Amino acid sequence: MHNVEMKAELRDLDLAKTVCHGLKATFIATLEQTDTYYRIPAGRLKKRETTGEPTEYVFYERANRPQPKLSHFVIYTEEQARERFGSEPLPVWVTVKKKRELWMLGNTRIHLDSVEGLGNFLEFESLVCRDHNIARGHESISQLRERFGPALGGLIDCSYSDMLARELEEPTEADL
């Protein structure tokens, strides 16, 4: 499966919610999620645990750049993940905990994320399918970016896992 994705700092969560309402986006749920990222040779693999939902594993490949980008992903059940990646435990890289408000507008998921240790972010994921090709995905995100503009900060070029790993690697004053 494929998405066109974009992530940005979220400077005003309340304004973003107001924009969602104004666009008549459908509120789906508020989700408590823990994503455990594993070290693998290529791509990214995370175990996603969402309160009240079955655990799933998400493998994806995506360029690290701030502009909207194409993401290729596969979602596995625990059993499918063991078959694909082996039954031995994989080395854990980093764990990301977040509260996500999920909204839908057409083929596009709007995520209003509060990420533990990092702050607030907005993410658009426009699903690519037969009736909604890559170009339409980019167009949808461009339109949403314009509408959410006053609530947004800078674009983010990487995943929350990269951001958190950088935060964890930086020495504190006590370490110096």
42-63: pLDDT as tens digits: 999 999 999 999 999 999 999 9
10-27: pLDDT as tens digits: 999 999 999 999 999 999
Structural domains of the chain, with CATH? 2-175 (2.40.320.10)
DSSP letter at 132 equals B
Q: Report the alpha-carbon distance of residue 9 to residue 119 in Å, rounded.
A: 8
In terms of Cα–Cα distance, which of 54, 136, 44 is closest to 92? 44
57-103: pLDDT as tens digits: 999 999 999 999 999 999 999 999 999 998 888 999 999 999 999 99
pTM strictly above 0.85: yes
Which tokens in the block code for residue 29? 């749920």
Which tokens in the block code for residue 132? 């909604």
Count of other CB atoms within 10 angstroms of residue 60: 18
145-162: pLDDT as tens digits: 999 999 999 999 999 999
Beta bridge partners of 38: 45, 92
